[in-house]
A = this chain, B = another copy of it.
């Protein structure tokens, strides 16, 4: 890398003159500015990032910590974050916690050494199950800003979430409006706060439904359970099921396949609604109806919140932004 010093030597001026010239300082003569810039361009000079960061105490870099990059939701959120950050002149350092508290703690710890200006994070399942927040509080106490998205924690910081309760409440209402009498909820994420909220939305909708008077049926698929087997068992033990609300990313697809294989007519005799953004799930036939989370907006908003915070545009009080969801009716609902 070519440095200011090298430019200065070649031009027979001082380093500070070169620096000022490149920054269009009023103090420097037009002529000198010209000469300096020309040589800088010619030698492809670029200010050393580390030196700038050390001096300014700003890295223009955000730390992003996500639980699982193979989950399409997080991949898309990461995509949105990268896009918006780069648009605003920020880089992102990505860490994957793999749903583990220890990795999350570690990443936070390692990046809080001046590597990043702030964190954008969605917390690991283990963290949520154990309800540990100390490692996050430590960061906050150091004055490093943090935006939590999707899976949040009860701490005072900026957050971006969706209305999980409302989303599945509405979806369940829709199934009820189709006249479904045996609506089952399938969840692989009952351990997560978002999972509980979504389940509650379903329960509430059924509870409020005075006409069908159906009992809620919640199928909770644990880490060690086989998803396909569990769903098969559902159809066996509960053949009258005529509505399925899947509140995670993937179980809706599996339920659809299993139902079709068992001869259910979808959506004539059975409606299925999945939860997630669309892409991956677009490859079913018929196309899965879903609750869209607008993942792209979630990521984008997280970055905006962070950068506002960094630029002190927003003042002291922390914000929780709720992104609207959408019930998208495609082929698996009437």
Contact = CB atoms under 8 A, between A and B. Distances in A.
A239 interface: no
A84 to B, nearest CB: 11
B86 A75 contact: no
A71 to B, nearest CB: 9
Contacts of A284: 257
A41 interface: no
A179 interface: no
A186 interface: no
B75 A94 contact: no
B279 A261 contact: no
A308 interface: no
Contact of A254 (B51, B112, B283): B283
Interface in A73-109: 75-76, 78-79, 82-83, 86, 91-96, 107
A285 interface: yes
Contacts of A332: none
Interface residues of A, number: 47
Contacts of A51: 54, 114
Nearest to A98: B83
A50 interface: yes
Contacts of A1: 113-114, 142
Contact of A69 (B49, B79, B280, B285): B79
Interface in A101-156: 107, 110-115, 142
Nearest to A279: B70
B49 A114 contact: yes
A285 B253 CA distance: 10
Contacts of A96: 79, 82-83
A267 to B, nearest CB: 16
Contacts of A111: 91
- Counting chain B CB atoms within 10 Å of each CB, the highest count among A76, A83, A94 belongs to A94
A54 B50 contact: yes
A48 B254 CA distance: 49
A93 B95 contact: no
B50 A59 contact: yes
Given A113-B49, A115-B91, A283-B254, A82 B54 contact: no
B59 A69 contact: no
Contacts of A49: 113-115
Interface of A: 1, 46-51, 53-54, 59, 61, 69-70, 72, 75-76, 78-79, 82-83, 86, 91-96, 107, 110-115, 142, 250, 253-254, 257-258, 260-261, 279-280, 283-285
28 contacts: A1-B113, A1-B114, A46-B113, A48-B54, A48-B114, A49-B113, A50-B53, A50-B54, A50-B59, A50-B114, A51-B54, A61-B93, A69-B78, A69-B79, A69-B82, A70-B72, A70-B76, A75-B75, A79-B96, A82-B94, A82-B95, A86-B95, A86-B107, A91-B93, A94-B94, A253-B283, A254-B283, A280-B280
